[in-house]
Structure 1
Amino acid sequence: MEKFKKALSPITINKTEFKNRLWIPPMGTSAVKPDGTPTDEMVAYFNNMAKGGAGAVVIEVADVDEHRRYNSTVIGLFDDKFVPKYKEIIDAIHDGGSKAISQLLHAGPIPLIKNDPTQYGPLCASSVPHIYNLNAIPQVITKEQMAEIKQMYIDAALRVVKAGADGIEIHCAHNHGLLGTFVSSIHNKRTDEYGGNLSCRMKYPLEIVEAIRTAVGPDMVLGVRISDSYDEVDGLTLEDSCRMSRMFEKAGINYIHASHGSLISIANIQPPHGSPQGIFANRAKVIKEAVNIPVGTIGRITDPEIAEELLETDVADIIFMGRALIADPELPNKIKEGREADIRPCIGCNECVTSAMYGNGFYCAMNTLSGHELEGGVVYDENNKGKKVLVIGGGPGGLEAAGQAAIASYDVTLVEKANYLGGQFELAAYPPTKQEFACGVKYLINQVEKHGVDIRLNTEATKEYVVDMKPDAVIVATGGQPIEAKWITESGHPNVIGAWDAIRGNANIGINIVVIGGGLVGCECADMIAAPRYYRKQYARKVTVIEMKDYVMIDDYTPQRDQLMTRLMDKNVDILEGAAVKEISADSITYVKDGETKTIKHVDTIISAVGTQSVNGLTEELKVLDIPVITIGDAVAPRKIHLATREAAEAIKKLKI
């Protein structure tokens, strides 16, 4: 505990003591019924998060306006009917040992429920469309509507009090919602007392804070989430945010949750893998120096040692650890108990927040229980001892399956054809900004070793091998392999390379390169092989990506896509979308785009990145065995890491021998 003395020390805010300074920020789970009622899954999720030892859990945002809801996966607090279920969440957090704070939001210019007559459309300080709702011009809010919405905030706050929460956090950040856009000169063009300079743009948010404070009394913890700056033209600056923080303090706010950025660039709000730890901390420090109330910082803080350092050096009073505590809610408990080596790392893939944002459930590549707490996970079972489970394949699915089977007390053997573990997960750590994926692989390997799994590398599992092993169950996690399109590999070009080999550095690459395929692998390959800077030098590499779909990485909605596209543009990578390769010669590629046929000449390297295919022939061969044979991960169909690890955990949980 001495190592993390500051992080684990209590902090008192407005008479309420929080047991430590590691807090969970508000993050959507999409575990909400269409009317806004939280589900039992959400209750179980928050109970599990609290059990991990966090000092406070800020519950995901709640709508205050029934007729301008942010979306159908957001909690509703616009009616008394929501109080009983909301109280279950707060009780679950308290039962887990943490304090519960509720966050309130009015959607303002971005109510995203469409084709619903009960929804009245966007509302904003001025008629400037929001980037999340560009085709809908907001109604300019009237003073009468401002009074009505202020009452909505008051009513929602009183429901929070009735439900037993320890605090309320008001969302006024990210150029988001009514208040986050009201303070922004991007959206507030008013010329009355509520527009103009920052003091006037702050007038309405301050009125709401003061009204809530009056309604809930002097002892309730009130916080506000702001952006330390928007990093956009006409957006809030750090100096603005310092002034705002002082104004909020005078109005009755007890702590500042200093976030960053705006919805214009989501990667600034949810910094992905490769972002510096504590990326916004120095900005929070400036705000902390401007006020006399606690300030919390956030932003890719996954290492508890860095959290401790930020607190020790007085950069912040509270550390908000979001995705790190999704990956391992037990992080606070583990550092308290001296078990740092067992902390499950967040790899920054952002599947958790992205899947929830689009209402596609809630997942974590590293924590297979996250979002599935109500179902429960694998547990130790004495009756499994001596029963043999053979896992074939040492990629993420195979490693997870082997580790989970060992936890369930099976006798586990893991067979891997290659001379290393990790499969495509290991490969995924090679491109720029993705070193954190190596931490994920390392953790999975350490866990199977810790639990005594018999690991056999350089071993190909044939049907005969499996029969000789005499297992009681087999998990086939043989993964995938690159598609070798003959029209590329047998085109006659002398230097055709697979993207995996290019990424690993297993092939010689020239200076005029065409990557065929603009999915994630193709774009990351281009990012890796292109010159780090574009200086228009002779003999510098020229990289072109050809993608037949309308957009590269068309199915990727994560924040890191934005950053990857920015890097490719900075490196002068030429991206041809909606382009179909027509012909490949010994030194050129001809393609058709927008009905025009064009040729890239002097091509000395072609990199094939046209996709992945399953490797699963063994599944059919093993069907004759009278034992459970379960296929998982890319061996079923090429997909993302979180689906492979989730299927692995499910397979072991449901395994009956």
Structure 2
Amino acid sequence: MSNDPLLQPYRLKHLTLRNRIMTTAHEPAYPEDGMPKARYVAYHAERAKAGVALAMTAGSAAVSRDSPPVFNNILAWRDEVVPHIRALTDACHDHGCAVMIQLTHLGRRTGWNKGDWLPSVSSSRHREPAHRAFPKLAEDWDIERIISDFADATERMQAGGMDGVELQVYGHLLDQFWSPLTNDLDGPYGGESLTSRMQLLMDVLHGIRARVGDGFIVGVRYTADEAAKGGINATEGLEISRKLAECGMVDFLNVVRGRIHTDPAMTDVIPVQGMKSAPHLDFAGAVKQATGMPTFHAARIPDVATARHAVAAGLLDMVGMTRAHMADPHIVQKIRDGREDDIRPCVGATYCLDRIYQAGEALCIHNAATGRELTMPHDIMPAPARKKVVVVGAGPAGLEAARVAAARGHDVVVFEAQPDPGGQIRLTAQHPRRREMAGIIDWRMAQCAAHDVVFHFNTFAEEQDVTALAPDVVIIATGGLPNLELFEAGTENPHVISAWDMIAGDVKPAGRVLVYDESGDHPGLMAAEIAAGAGARVEVMTPDRTFAPDIMGMNLVPYMRALQDKDVTFTVTRRLLDVVRDGNRLRATIGTDYSDFTTHQHYDQVVVNYGTMPLDDLYFALKPLSSNAGAVDHDALVSGQPQTISRNPDGAFQLFRIGDAVSARNTHAAIYDALRLMKDI
């Protein structure tokens, strides 16, 4: 038996959880037709296999037809969900992992123009800003129906073998009823009385217990402090917590602090990189102390040390490490094996959640196997024969290629033109709020060191440098350089600078600055924040109808908080056509895609963020010497099969380029390129 607090078992009612680590409810948006099929099962099974004690699935499963999914949720109101739940449950149980599911009615946190086009329903007449739909004020028959729907859904989950259910009571319908900020009802479910506003939850609990009995585990994930004027405060939240403990129908409390009705509110509940770790942990501990209830919590607990403290200090009984397990599903196994230094870190990029909230699927910014367990490995298997692999470029793509090749047992050499590894990540990590991104590089460098990868820094590799090593495989991961061509101009404009120039500090902000953001990703707003912080008058301009569309909701929040108290304006639907010198200033010609309208403005600096152009000279120099002439079999790549194309029988090596050396994309794309290509080399 280990003395590690995290590895101690925990008794929850009749259920013995094998340790204190869980993944809390989250919807990775992997269901198919509203059902958790093979991909969903494989995702959770990977974490169960590695030792997670409790998988809280879904985030959340919808109990009613008029609670249509906003990000591909499980449809718990359909009877056909039961066998799929059984498959999910069995897969987790087979590895000794308990499994539960979070149930909800979204209330106003959805839209009427989804699913069956039924009106959303809530205790409020007002729309939720994040999802925009104006709800119908709930009637008595709506309430009766929804109570029954929760009981029906719970019964389905019990039939599917689940160990329990968790009711979602923050931001969704049940919480909309009990919060004074979102309850416009009179009578038994409204008014100023907390008991009255909590009545819907109590009726739901009674309905569930009447259906599944007292033996089935039922918990509540709820906000015990809305941290908003006029909302439930900490004192009232503790009263709610005691009522839940005393009602006799709740087996555990999963504590949340804050609201989720806007992107800023959501980001305070689930902090992103650059924000405080575990900001609500002590508050969750106060709830545990006040109630004596089994207490769970998760909110930016990204590392083992913080999780261990939460349990050792008696603040929590079960600690949620959900995003951390998206970065590395094998955390528990590595703790057991004494390999904590080997854990792939969560860098707080929140690429996972931001993708979900834009109707995508959850993906980890630097673990491309997460969510792709059916085709991509988390553990790299040895190759049948050792090969010589040369990688050019030590950014995220090149380092992932080197890591995977070395883990396969190959002899790996990496050339890098810069004195340090990292590529664009090094530039990103110069921003104080985004320093954690360096973990993407640091972890890979440690993995490469453990496998004896040879690095040549300060080396601008040329054709003869590569061929002299007689490689079997060459990977070009040289990235790109900022594109300073304006749209369809054909040539670089000599009067503009790149966002990289400002982020790196090579050019200092001056006077009135235009940040022309054609890409809509991080470098544009990073440059704007630097310029504004230096006292410049800044205009952020985009030809798109929204600014920074690739900086998704939660990651946009810190930028806006940094910019809105400064002299910064945002201009949309305007295209920068030309920049010329006009005395000691710059004269910009500005048009629009919507008409022939043009105007002129003067600036002291024009900063352009328009992606990168590939650094591909070496690739094209090596292409005629390679056996595949650089070609990629896309069908094999997508299906996870080896590359076998031969276009040049006399070629000496296979040649591939990845990441921004192909085209401007993002960190995840670069790492995925490398993993799916190298796993079979």
- Normalized against structure 2, the TM-score is what? 0.88
Q: What secondary structure is seen at the aligned counterpart in 1 of 2:189?
A: coil
Displacement after TM superposition at 1:25 (Å): 0.7
Shift of 1:216: 2.1
Distance (Å, rounded) in 2 between the aligned partners of 1:483 and 1:145: 56
Match of 2:76 in 1: 77
Q: Hey, what's the Cα distance between the residues in 2 that align with 1:298 and 1:502? A: 37
CA distance in 2, matches of 1:350, 1:113: 28
Corresponding residue of 1:59: 57
Q: Are residues 1:547 and 2:555 paired?
A: no
Q: Is the 8 A contact 1:70 1:110 kept in 2?
A: no
Letter in 2 for 1:109: R
Offset at residue 382 of structure 1 (A) = 4.7
Partner of 2:279: 279
Q: Corresponding residue for 1:559?
A: 554
Which of 661, 666, 673 is 1:635 aligned to?
661
Deviation at 1:6, TM superposition (A): 2.0
Unpaired runs of 5+ residues, structure 2, are: 628-652
Q: Which moved more, 1:421-430 or 1:607-616?
A: 607-616
SS in 1 for 2:19: coil
Alignment of 1:176-575 (within 5 A): 176=172, 178-197=173-192, 198-251=194-247, 252-260=249-257, 261-265=259-263, 266-377=266-377, 379-385=380-386, 387-485=387-485, 497-510=497-510, 512-517=512-517, 519=520, 520-531=522-533, 540-575=535-570
Distance (Å, rounded) in 2 between the aligned partners of 1:417 and 1:187: 57
Which residue of 2 is the match for residue 537 of structure 1? none
Q: Cα distance 1:395–1:619, how it changes in 2: closer, same or farther (>3 A)?
A: same
Task: Return the alpha-carbon distance in structure 2 between the equivalents of residues 476 and 430 of structure 1.
Answer: 25
How far is 1:79 from its partner? 2.7
Residue 148 (1) aligns with residue 150 (2): no
Residues 1:127 and 2:125 aligned together: yes
CA contact under 8 A between 2:224 and 2:240: conserved in structure 1?
A: no
Report deviation, 1:508: 3.9
1:30·1:357 contact (CA, 8 Å) conserved in 2?
no
Q: Are residues 1:576 and 2:577 paired?
A: no
| 2:353 and 2:362 in contact (8 A); partners too | yes
Contact 1:432 1:527 in 2 (8 A): no
CA distance in structure 1 between the partners assigned to 2:419 and 2:485 by the alignment: 27
Mapped partners of 2:75, 2:365: distance in 1: 29
Describe the superposition over 1:282-303 as per-residue Cα deviations: whole angstroms up to 9, x where unpaired.
2213322331202222211112
Alignment partners' CA distance in 2, 1:318 and 1:396: 34
C-alpha distance in 1, partners of 2:142/2:381? 57
- Give, in whole Å, the separation in 2 of the partners of 1:640 and 1:492: 26
Q: Is the 8 A contact 1:11 1:21 kept in 2?
A: yes
Cα shift at 1:596? 7.7
Q: Which residue of 2 aligns with 1:535?
A: none
Give the alignment's TM-score, normalised by structure 1. Answer: 0.91
Task: Report the counterpart of residue 652 of structure 1 in structure 2.
Answer: 678
CA distance in 2, matches of 1:317, 1:381: 39
Mapped to 1, the partners of 2:346 and 2:196 lie a distance apart of 41
Q: Partner letter of residue 169 of structure 1?
A: E
> Shift of residue 556 of structure 1?
2.5
Q: What code does the residue aligned with 2:84 have?
A: K
SS of the equivalent of 2:148 reads helix
Contact 2:112/2:120, CA 8 A, preserved across alignment: no
Matches within 5 A, 1:601-616: 603=604, 605-616=605-616
Letter matched to residue 14 of structure 2: K
Deviation at residue 47 of structure 1 after TM alignment: 0.3
The whole-number CA distance in structure 2 between the counterparts of 1:593 and 1:492 is 20
Q: Deviations over 1:538-564 (max 9, x none)?
A: xx4433333333332123324011221
CA separation in 2, counterparts of 1:77 and 1:259?
23
The separation in 2 between residues aligned to 1:542 and 1:139, in whole angstroms, is: 45
Task: State how far apart, in whole Å, the 2-side matches of 1:102 and 1:335 are.
Answer: 26
**For the residues of structure 2 that align with 1:497 and 1:554, how far apart are their CA atoms?**
22
Aligned to 2:169: 172
Supply the distance in 1 between the matched residues of 2:656 and 2:490 (Cα, whole angstroms). 34
Q: Give CA-to-partner distance per residue, 1:217-275, whole Å, 9 cap, x none.
A: 22222111112333344433222322222222223111111123223233123311111
Decide whether aligned partners of structure 1 residues 137 and 81 sit closer, same or farther in structure 2, where only a CA change above 3 A counts: same
CA distance in 1, matches of 2:285, 2:373: 36
Structure 1 counterpart of 2:633? none
Give the deviation of 1:184 after TM superposition. Answer: 2.1
- How far residue 13 of structure 1 moved from its aligned partner, in angstroms, is 1.8
| Secondary structure, aligned partner of 1:630 | strand
Q: Is the 8 A contact 1:388 1:471 kept in 2?
A: yes
Closer, same or farther: CA 571–337 of 1 in aligned 2, 3 Å: farther
Q: In structure 2, do the counterparts of structure 1 residues 608 and 130 end up closer, same or farther at CA, with 3 Å as the change threshold?
A: closer
Give me the whole-angstrom Cα distance separating, in 1, the residues matched to 2:253 and 2:589: 55
Contact 2:245 2:293 in 1 (8 A): yes
CA RMSD of aligned residues (A): 2.5
Q: Distance in 2 between matches of 1:529 and 1:429?
A: 17
Q: State the 1:341 CA deviation.
A: 0.9
CA distance in 1, matches of 2:416, 2:331: 31
| In 2: Cα distance, 1:69 partner to 1:490 partner | 48
Q: Which residue identity lines up with residue 525 of structure 1 in the other structure? A: A
SS in 2 for 1:503: helix
Structure 2 Cα separation of the partners of residues 590 and 454 of structure 1: 48
Aligned residue pairs total 637
Structure 1: any 5+ residue segments left out of the alignment? 533-539
Structure 1 residues 5-35: Cα deviation after superposition (integer angstroms, max 9, x where no partner): 222222222232212222101111111112x
CA deviations on 1:127-151 (whole Å, 9 max, x unpaired) are: 32222442x4322222222122111
Q: Which residue of 2 aligns with 1:536?
A: none
Query: C-alpha displacement at 1:445, in angstroms?
Result: 1.0
**SS of residue paired to 2:432:** coil
Cα separation, 2, equivalents of 1:554 and 1:319: 34
Q: What is the aligned partner in structure 2 of residue 43 from structure 1?
A: 41
Identify which range, 518-527 or 274-283, moves more after superposition.
518-527
- Contact in 2 for aligned 1:68/1:121 (Cα 8 Å): no
- Is contact 1:190–1:196 with CA below 8 Å preserved after alignment? yes
Aligned-partner Cα distance in 2 for 1:29–1:285: 28
Structure 1 residues 84 and 195, CA gap change in structure 2 (3 angstroms): same
User: Aligned partners of 1:32 and 1:54: how far apart in 2?
Assistant: 21
Give the 3-state SS of the residue equivalent to 1:347 in structure 2: coil
Cα 1:492/1:162, change in 2 over 3 Å: closer
Determine the C-alpha separation between the residues in 2 that align with 1:166 and 1:25.
Answer: 14
Bigger mean CA deviation after superposition, 353-362 or 157-166 = 353-362
The answer on whether the counterparts of 1:70 and 1:113 sit within 8 Å (CA) in structure 2 is no
Which range moved further: 613-622 or 415-424? 613-622
Q: How much does 1:489 deviate?
A: 10
CA distance in 2: counterparts of 1:163 and 1:555, whole angstroms = 39
Give the C-alpha shift of residue 383 in structure 1: 1.7
* Separation (CA, whole Å) in 2 of partners of 1:561 and 1:432: 15
* 1:18 paired residue number: 17
Q: What are the Cα deviations for residues 421-480 of structure 1, in whole angstroms up to 9, with x where unaligned?
A: 110112111123101101221111111111111111122232233222221111111111
